[in-house]
Amino acid sequence: MTENHRPAASVAPADPSDVVELFLQAARRHPERAAIIHNEQELSYARLEGLVRGIAGRLGPDCGTVGVLTARSADTIAAFLGVLAAGGAYCPIDPAFPAERKEALVRAAGCRSVIAPDAAEVPLGLPALRLAEPHPTGLPHAPATPWPAVDPEDPAYVLFTSGSTGAPKPVATPRRAIAAAVDSLAGLLDIAPADRVLQFASLNWDTCFEEILPALTRGASLVIDDDAYSASFPRFLRMIERRRVTVLDLPTAFWHEFVNHLTEDRAALPGTVRTVVIGGEAARPARLADWRAVPGADRVRLVNTYGCTETTLVTHAIDLHGPLAVGDTSPTATPAAIPIGHALPHVREHIGEDGELLIGGPSLALGYRGLPQITGERFRAFDQPDVRGWYFRTGDRVRREADGALVHEGRLDDELKIRGIRVSPGEAEAQMCGHPDVAAAVATGTVVGDHTALVGYVLPRPHADPATLAAAVLRHLRERSPRHLVPTRITVVPELPHTASGKVDRARTHQLYAIRNEFKEASRAR
């Protein structure tokens, strides 16, 4: 890829193996073991390997970046591994995205072909590889030919992160970054063939690889179950027991609600669960205190994680509760701020001026595809005695605790985390301004329940009807924007306050117009 603006990371002697190689080794060791359990259907490692080889064979050795219209299915996971096995780069595309957005993503990622279910429309009319439906095992098995030679510096996937200008930024992640991060993470979580790891994260964001790759490189089973995504905790708990799930990786905002449910129902954690991983935003001390009182929580590892797309999956982690947690973990001993933890073995960290966390090491992405200037702003070369090589500026301010763990103290910019997904207010504002009756817009975060929600404020154009504009803009966004850029609430305002430098003041706007009432204060006090 020409967008690699930095030299290759230095290659350490004990570089971890490519994830495809590890998957094939696991398949050779446990061909009959279930790789994927999707509702009632089990797909063995041997069958999954057949699917992966079939897709890789059909893609050929020079497939470049391949778009994949995702679904929560073994097919999509086989497509991901198949693209990697063919030496290509995987680019997930949410089929629910509006057509315009899908086309923009495919174009920005440089996809040359798309893997799609039979009936699905392919963005930009690119060449399509159709997956046989509905039976995923119907693909022809390619002979066990040698795989194309892969370079650890080749991109393995292209994912998008929010850009302040309104356009999404494609992050290209090389194979060595994934190998390093998965090796560390599988070690941290001690994933073994007996494990059953829930596949909970959306297949369109990188968190899903934290579930898929540690499981499938270590011979464990990945569980996909409709009851996991029903938003019904009674169903969620029964699903865990039915499928004997041992490892859960949950967005912190969802875990908060899980804790609320367990606490209010005085329910216990299912006995099969041994590890719960959380991440995506700051964990709330009150929910950790509640968790520590849940029956069964003492024998379960609760692991808080931190990482960015640009630094691949997880870079920092800490056991907050359970057998490996250090210090006083009684419900009354909850700290005021919950740490994001210590750097994993593959990570180099440096705290820069302003307390900004900088990350170096083999898990760094190649940069933003086609955006050399923005890449140059965020990826910096250092040549100091103890800080050498390339580092990514996370934009997160941190401080170090006495025990060495890092605590997140906020952002250096206005970026928000909405249900674990990074949202640049500028991008959400640009989407709202796409409505013809909107003169200007502000997007910001507000706390509802135990999470941050995106709220919008719009200034109408002179001819617009302020009474119907909020609903009209919401409708407009739902048809055109991905879900994480659609505010949960839009308020029409008569004017927008400006800062001394003439920029729209987001914080002041929210202060002036946020809906207030006594319920808020009551629930905060809990």
Partner 1 sequence: MPADRIVDGIIDIFRRVLETDGVHADSDFFETGGDSLLATRVLSAIVRDHGTELTIAEFIESPTPSTLAKRIESVTR
Stretch that binds partner 1, among 216-224, 273-281, 352-360, 518-526 (CB under 8 A): 518-526
Among 489, 497, 504, 508, binds partner 1 (CB under 8 A): 489
CB nearer to partner 1: pick between 66 and 250: 250
Instruction: Identify which of 124, 207, 164, 156 has the alpha carbon closest to the alpha carbon of residue 412.
Output: 164
Number of residues that bind partner 1 (CB under 8 A): 30
Using CB under 8 A as the binding rule, whether residue 237 contacts partner 1 is answered as no
Beta bridge partners of 224: 38
* Ranges within 432-451 binding partner 1 (CB under 8 A): 448-451
120-124-126-132 Cα dihedral, nearest 10 degrees: 0
CB nearer to partner 1: pick between 90 and 200: 200
Stretch that binds partner 1, among 37-45, 65-73, 461-469, 516-524 (CB under 8 A): 516-524
Euclidean distance between CA atoms 160 and 73, whole angstroms: 21
User: Chain centroid to CA 487: how far?
Assistant: 19
Using CB under 8 A as the binding rule, whether residue 179 contacts partner 1 is answered as no
Euclidean distance between CA atoms 494 and 77, whole angstroms: 49
> In Å, what is the CA distance from 180 to each residue of 18, 100, 279, 387?
9, 35, 19, 20
Please report how the helices 74-85 and 19-29 are oriented relative to each other, as an axis angle in degrees rounded to 10.
120
Instruction: Identify which of 276, 286, 284, 281 has the alpha carbon closest to the alpha carbon of residue 321.
Output: 276
Closest distance to partner 1 from the beta carbon of 90 (Å) = 26
Q: Is 298 exposed, middle or buried (0-12, 13-18, 19+ CB in 10 A)?
A: middle
Is 303 in contact with 277 (CB distance < 8 Å)?
yes
Using CB under 8 A as the binding rule, whether residue 419 contacts partner 1 is answered as yes
Closest distance to partner 1 from the beta carbon of 255 (Å) = 10
Stretch that binds partner 1, among 9-17, 132-140, 226-234, 323-331 (CB under 8 A): 226-234
Among 46, 104, 440, 453, binds partner 1 (CB under 8 A): 453
Stretch that binds partner 1, among 23-31, 213-221, 231-239, 286-294 (CB under 8 A): 231-239
Using CB under 8 A as the binding rule, whether residue 323 contacts partner 1 is answered as no
* Ranges within 251-310 binding partner 1 (CB under 8 A): 253-254, 256-257, 260-261, 264-265
Instruction: State the alpha helices, DSSP H only, in 98-251.
Output: 99-109, 175-189, 207-217, 233-243
Using CB under 8 A as the binding rule, whether residue 493 contacts partner 1 is answered as no
Among 234, 345, 436, 466, binds partner 1 (CB under 8 A): 234
Contacts to partner 1 by CB under 8 A: 229-235, 253-254, 256-257, 260-261, 264-265, 419, 448-451, 453, 471, 474, 488-489, 515, 517, 519-520, 523
